[in-house]
Every structure is written in C-alpha cells, then in structure tokens.
Amino acid sequence: MLGAKPISENTARDYEWRLRVHLLPFFGRYRLDEMDRDLLLAFKSRKLREASEQRAAIEAGADLRDHRGRRLVPLGPASLRKLTGGLATILDDAVEDGHIDHHAARGKRMRVHVPKPSRTFLEMDELAALIDAATKQERAFGPDAPARPEPGPTAALVGHLFRQGKRPEQIAREMGIAKSTVSYHLRRAGVSVGRGYLGRRAICAIHGYGGPRVGEACEIRIGQVRLHDPEGARFRIPDAKTETGIREVEISPDLAEVIIEHIDRLRRAGASTTPEDYLLQNTRGGRVSRQRVAEIIRDAAAQASVELTAKGLPPLPRTTPHTMRRTYISIALLANNFDVKWVMDQVGHADSKMTMDVYAQLQQRAKRSHGVSFDRLVQRAREQLQGLPLAREPDAIGPRSGHEGEKPSRTVAKRPRRERSKSTGLQGKRGMARPGFEPGTPRFSVVCSTN
C-alpha cells in the first residue's frame, strides 16, 4: 500500500517496470548524494537517444525484441515523463527522510513535454458499424464458422470437431496429432487459425455500451454480472478510485443480450463459465490481456472503415479502448439529458475533467446550427427593411387581424400623434389605428424605450 489507498495490480506492475527496466540499471550504482543535475540530465539524454535509435531501426525494417521476446516499442514522451516523475518522487522522499538536502529532478531542464493527444469519440452510427464488423469477424473464424471438409478422413474429422466448438489444441489432443496438422487442415478448409477468439462482439459492446476502463473490463468475472436483477441488469467493477471500492454499471437491454449470447457461446465451446471465471477470456480460458482487447477493437474498426468507405462514408478515426469509453460517455450524456453526475458515477470518475471534456465537444457539435440561426436573423432584418411580411415564430398565437381582401399588414414607421390625427380628420381626439395596422404609439414612448 502506498499512501492512503492500496494500489492496483496494474499500477504495481507499472512501478516495477519503471524501477527494474529503466531506473535501477542506470542509477543503481550511485549513492543518493551523487545524483546531481548532470547525472539526471545524462539519464534523460540517454533515454531520448535510445528511443530515437530504436525508431530509426524499426523504420529500416529491424525486428527488435525485448528480453521476453515481445516486439520492442520505443519509449515515448509520456513514458519518459513517467520515468522522470517517478525519479523525482523517490528523491522527494529522500529529502523528506533526511538522506539528502535537495535534488534537481524537478528542474526545468528535466521536464518532458508530452503533446496533448487528439481525443475523440465515435458517432452512434459509427459505433453500430464497429460492433457489426466485430460480429462478422467472430462468426468468420469462431466455432460457428462454416468449415468446408477436405477429402480425407483426417480433414473431415478436424472440421467436424471444430464445428462442435473445440479449439485446435483440444482437437489435437483428442485425435492424437500435432496442433500444426490441425491448423493446416483448418486453413485448407478456409478457416482463419490463430484469430479464433470468442468474445470480439462482447468486447466491443461492453466498451461501447458500458464504458469501463480496459483493465476493468478484463477483470470482470461472470459472477459479477447481474443479468436478471429485478432492479435492472448491471455488472460490478472493483474500483480503487471510489470510496466504496466497488461501483455498479447499469447494463442496457441490448448489452445484456450480447453478454448472454457470449456466455452461451463460451459454454458451447467447452470453456468454463463458473462465477469465478473471467467474462472475457483468452483462448486458454484465462484473463484476456489489455493488448489483445486493443487489437480486437482495432481490427473491428479497420473492417468497419472498409465497409463505410465502400458506401461513400468517411472511415472511422483511430479507435482504441479509450475511444470506446469516450463514446459511451457521449451517448450516455445525450441519453440522460446531460446528467453529468450520473455519467461520472457510471464510469467511475472522481474528477469531472474527462466527462466535461466530452460534454464540451458535444456542445461544440450542437453549435453547428449557429450558421443557420445567423442567416435567419439577417433574413428577418432584410424582410423588415424591404417591407415584406415577417416570418411567423414557432410560438406565435395566430395571424394578425385585418379586413378581408386587404393586403397583408406591413411594419410602418410610427408618426407623431398630431400628424396622424390630421390625416384621419380626428383633431383633438385620440389617434385610431386603421384595420390591419399596428395601434398608434405616442412619440414619448420611443424616447422612454431608449432609457
């Protein structure tokens, strides 16, 4: 536990990554009083140089891997700022504990500028297109995929077992053959092997219709989902950022139907669906990774973009799990009459910054009618200037009174009462309005209206 609250598993892994991979290899052999400004700047310079060299090598076609064999990702500005921020926090504690008098980790030259990312969200039709694309992809290489048996008993049996929902490794064990042989027959049958993940539609729908953080979605257990709750379907998310530690997210009827179908497909595929099992599982029945979730959403967005472009519509923007979270916030705000507090509770926001950021973008989109309203005001002024009938307002009570056969009334300049009396032959009496015209108005009322 650090501070007043326990840290999550992801945060602990992030701290370990900063220390084990970057900070300790560089600073581990130095004493605290030896970590002066020049040494800190040398650390920052080395990390910038390493990232630049790695990007150049990747652009040249090099396949760089880390110590675990995973594809290497060069350090970006945000990650570098995490390193310098963590280093400054460690040295702050050293000063507070009396080990050193001061440090230079928070100096101006140690700051790292991180460009503000372009945050957006999907329109409602774009969200529907993405989920439809994910559904097609899941059916294309899931257990419901139409496998075409090839001639021969081995290929026919492989196709039969695959259509029953068995995974390639299960088929290999049951038939006593190599998994590569199973993959070979499945590929010849037109089935994409290695991408047969059960949950593509569920992943996209849960993020777009529920708005959890990607790490939260990966941690949801089947027992935390309440689909038959009389008070409404919902799922529970352990959240270290809330006071209670648990928040409940309401589930719409459409999302509930998607989750029910997803659990049913897991059962038919032979996966375990006990209350302790993960709702979103990997191919081995364990917890799906955040990277895998991002890849599935990215694949669905790419397929949806292809289909939208074929219809003459613009493609989807760069879509990530965070994009889906902002999409949920935008639709939830519209669906609940901009109830910011309720939406914050749904997505687990202690700070309204992100919610209000999406709200501001929605307000900017609502102001797209500014041009139409501007033109309407100018047009009304032109009609008044030219003496044309004014357009009726939506809340007008009714047409103005007038004699049958008379021309429509016009807005005329008001004349002084004396001149108006002469013209009507009613000297010494109150001015009377002709039918179809506005009542006479004394001259002093014009003066008073300017006060």
Rounded to whole angstroms, how far apart are CA atoms 90 and 410?
79
- What Å distances lie between residue 118 and 113, 318, 394, CA to CA? 15, 10, 40
Q: Write down the pLDDT at residue 197.
A: 66
Pick 418 or 106 by higher pLDDT: 106
> Tokens 């352990």 sit at which residue?
238
* Residues whose CB falls within 8 Å of the CB of residue 172, separated by 6 or more in sequence, listed in order: 178, 179, 181, 182
pLDDT band at 48 (very low <50, low <70, confident <90, very high): very high
Q: Write down the pLDDT at residue 411.
A: 43
User: Would strands 234-238 and 225-226 be described as parallel, antiparallel, or unpaired?
Assistant: antiparallel
Q: Mean pLDDT throughout 253-279?
A: 91
pLDDT band at 262 (very low <50, low <70, confident <90, very high): very high
Pick 68 or 161 by higher pLDDT: 161
**Does the pLDDT of residue 179 top 50, yes or no?**
yes
* Residues whose CB falls within 8 Å of the CB of residue 214, separated by 6 or more in sequence, listed in order: 207, 290, 293, 294, 321, 322
- Rounded to a whole number, what is the distance in angstroms from the first to the last CA of the chain? 68
pLDDT tens, residue by residue, 273-332: 999 999 999 878 889 999 999 999 998 999 999 999 999 999 999 999 999 999 999 999
pLDDT tens, residue by residue, 387-433: 766 555 544 333 444 444 444 444 444 444 444 444 444 344 444 44
Q: Write down the pLDDT at residue 396.
A: 38
pLDDT tens, residue by residue, 207-247: 999 999 999 999 999 999 998 876 789 988 876 565 556 78
**Does the pLDDT of residue 152 top 60, yes or no?**
yes
* Residues whose CB falls within 8 Å of the CB of residue 339, separated by 6 or more in sequence, listed in order: 333
Q: Mean pLDDT throughout 176-191?
A: 76
Domains in the chain with CATH codes: 9-110 (no CATH), 124-188 (no CATH), 200-350 (1.10.443.10)
Percent of all residues in the chain with a pLDDT value above 70, rounded to a whole number: 76
Most confidently predicted of 164-178, 179-193, 290-304 = 290-304
Q: Mean pLDDT throughout 15-30?
A: 93
Q: Write down the pLDDT at residue 53.
A: 94
Q: What residue type is assigned to position 243 of the chain?
A: E
